[in-house]
Amino acid sequence: MTIISFAVALVGFVIFAPVLGCLLAGVDRIVSARLQGRVGPVLLQPYYDVRKLLAKENRSVNGYQEFYIVLSLAFAILSGVFFFAGGNFLLVLFVLTLSSLFFIIAAYSARSPYADAGAQREIIQIASYEPMTILLCVTFFMATNTFNVSEVFNRDLPLVATLPLVFAAFLFILTIKLRKSPFDLSYSHHAHQELVKGITTEMSGRTLALVEITHWYESILFMGWVALFFIWNTMLAIPVVIIAVLLIYFLEVFIDNTFARVKWQAMLFWSWTVTIICCLLNIIYLIVLGYLG
């Protein structure tokens, strides 16, 4: 990561990520509606929702919650900038964890029973996916000999060829990260799943708008992680990446609409099991590859 790549990523990510993220959310809602046999809202509905939230009178349960949410958004953006600047994968991961932590603190700060319950569930969600994200970085290093994500542009084959099982396990926990059912324990866009409003129970108006915007940024960041597996050193990679990302996102929406929420025990058990098995097998595969070539 150089100063120039950082500057380019900063401008690019800050401006384009929310636009793309918002469109993605719009597509999500239309596809979900069609899967449920409804027409669904217009493509820009998420944007209208956020604009309306921003225009609302600002009411809050304490003077700190919005502060934490702003920090959560700021670190989500910073993490994305580091990622798209081709920086150190672990750095990206740790800054993103900081963002998640501030989101949790924001919920806890309200000292409300429902927000607390949401926050606890969010913590369990992080415990479920965090090992996989660390092992993702680790296996990335094992495959490429560096933690710098820009390395994928120098490869002769896309990463998915060397890390197929890691990719599969990553998809598993991506469902948690994108807040999709069956792992949308702490907060869901589907009203029927919800315990009041989960972790965002006490958030409203501008604060809630910021949460939504954070989600847009995060979605694009995670799609970037997906793209990481499909990039290699030819121009052919561009259409492949676009198709792969769209397919994966559709898959997530499909899963979201076909599964009912599970209990936290099941989420923790399955994500850890999948992580251990897939990563272990893939590491063995990497070692074998190393011996062969």
Partner 1 sequence: MVIVGFLITLPLLAALLLLVVRNDRVRAPLVIGAGSLTMLGSLALAVLYLFSPGIYVKIPAPYSEIISYATVAVSCICCLYVLVKGARNSKPLAVFLAALQLVFVLILEFGAAHDVEVKNDLYIDQLSVIMALVIGIIGSGICIYAVGYMRDFQHHLEQHAATHHHARLDSGYQALEHHAKDRRHIFFALMFVFLSAMYMIVFSNNLTWLLCGWEVTTVCSFALIGYTRTREAIDNSFRQIVMNLIGGLGFVMALMLLSSHDIKILELDRLIAFGSLNGGIGLVGLPVLLLSLAGFTKAAQMPFQSWLLGAMVAPTPTSALLHSSTKVKAGVFILIKLAPVFAFNLNGLVVILVGGLTFFFCSALAISQSNAKRVLAYSTVANLGLIVACAGVGTPEAVWAAIFLLIFHAAAKSLLFCCVGTAEHHIASRDIEDMDAIFTRLPRLALLMALGMFCMFIAPFGMLISKWATIVTMVDTGNIPLLFLLAFGSALTFVFWAKWLGKVLAVAQGGSNTEHHIHKSEWFALGLMSLLAVGLAIGLPWVSEGVVVPYLSAVASGFSGDVSSWAEITISTYSLPGAIVGENSNLRAAIGFNDLLIMATIALALIIVFAIKFLRRPKEPTSSIYLGGVGIDSSKRSFINALSTTSVSTQRNWYMESLFGEKVMTSFANVLVIAVMVLGAIAIYVGFGGVL
Near partner 1 by CB under 8 A, which window of 32-40, 56-64, 227-235, 244-252? 56-64
Pick the closer one to partner 1 by CB: 132 or 245. Answer: 132
Polymer length in residues for the chain: 293
Backbone φ and ψ for 180, nearest 5 degrees, come out as: -105, 150
Which one among 5, 8, 35, 94 touches partner 1, defined by CB under 8 A?
94
Contacts of 256 (CB under 8 A, 6+ apart): 32, 175, 180, 181, 184, 190
Which one among 5, 32, 45, 60 touches partner 1, defined by CB under 8 A?
60
Q: Is residue 10 part of the contact set for partner 1 (CB under 8 A)? A: no
Backbone φ and ψ for 70, nearest 5 degrees, come out as: -60, -45
Which one among 62, 154, 234, 273 touches partner 1, defined by CB under 8 A?
62
Identify which of 122, 147, 159 has the alpha carbon closest to the alpha carbon of residue 264.
Answer: 122
**Site map 132..171 versus partner 1, x via CB under 8 A:** x-xx-xx--xx--xxx------------------------
CA torsion 278-281-282-285 (nearest 10°) is: -160
Pick the closer one to partner 1 by CB: 253 or 279. Answer: 279
Pick the closer one to partner 1 by CB: 165 or 245. Answer: 165
- Please report, in angstroms and rounded to a whole number, the separation of the first and last CA atoms in the chain: 29
DSSP H or E stretch at residue 49: helix 45-55
Which pair of tokens denotes residue 52?
């309306």
Question: Is-contact 112 201, C-beta < 8 A?
Answer: yes
Q: Is residue 195 part of the contact set for partner 1 (CB under 8 A)? A: no
Which of positions 207-266 make contact with partner 1 (CB under 8 A)? 265
Near partner 1 by CB under 8 A, which window of 8-16, 42-50, 87-95, 162-170? 87-95
Tokens 């502060």 correspond to 67
Which one among 4, 37, 39, 59 touches partner 1, defined by CB under 8 A?
59
Q: Is residue 202 part of the contact set for partner 1 (CB under 8 A)? A: yes
Tokens 């995670």 correspond to 222
Shortest Å distance, C-beta 44 to partner 1: 29
Contacts of 57 (CB under 8 A, 6+ apart): 205
Identify which of 46, 20, 26 has the alpha carbon closest to the alpha carbon of residue 208.
Answer: 46
Tokens 């994968």 correspond to 89
Q: Is residue 91 part of the contact set for partner 1 (CB under 8 A)? A: yes
Pick the closer one to partner 1 by CB: 137 or 174. Answer: 137
Tokens 């948690």 correspond to 176
Which one among 131, 190, 257, 262 touches partner 1, defined by CB under 8 A?
131
Where does this chain bind partner 1 (CB under 8 A)?
1, 58-64, 67, 71, 78, 82, 87-88, 90-91, 94-95, 97-98, 101, 104-105, 107-117, 119-120, 123-124, 126-128, 130-132, 134-135, 137-138, 141-142, 145-147, 196, 201-202, 204, 265, 272, 276, 279-280, 283
